[in-house]
Structure 1
Amino acid sequence: NNGDKVAQLRELGLDIAEQVPLLVGVGPNNHQYLATKAERMGHTIALDDLDRALGVGAAAERTDA
């Protein structure tokens, strides 16, 4: 999910054919952390997918802090 790592691997000469986001272990205790990684650090995590992984009502719980 880390675009910076992909760029570094390409700089080393590796051919990256595809970057596929992977969501694991999403829960109420790390939902905001993962959202921050996507919003501020450029990680490939779709916020809608993150909300769906957490379950019903997650979109309303997320803050834009």
Structure 2
Amino acid sequence: MTERKAFQLRISAEVLAATQRWADDELRSLNAQIEYVLREALRKAGRLPRPDTRPEAEEEEQ
């Protein structure tokens, strides 16, 4: 499992409320939504590798 670290975030009330509504719409916690948005931005910027294809699919082919 990936190591998790706590991080304090200062954010405007307006951005926080909008992010909470977005998280609610996508049935995620606020924390999970923030991490999801950050991961997507990092992938698009080429700063984080894309997730591998389904590992079980590769195992089935062998």
Q: Give the TM interval when normalised to the shorter protein.
A: under 0.3
With normalisation by structure 2, the TM-score equals: 0.26
Higher radius of gyration, 1 or 2 = 2
RCO higher in 1 or 2 (8 Å CA, sep ≥ 6)? 1
Give TM-score, length-normalised by structure 1: 0.26
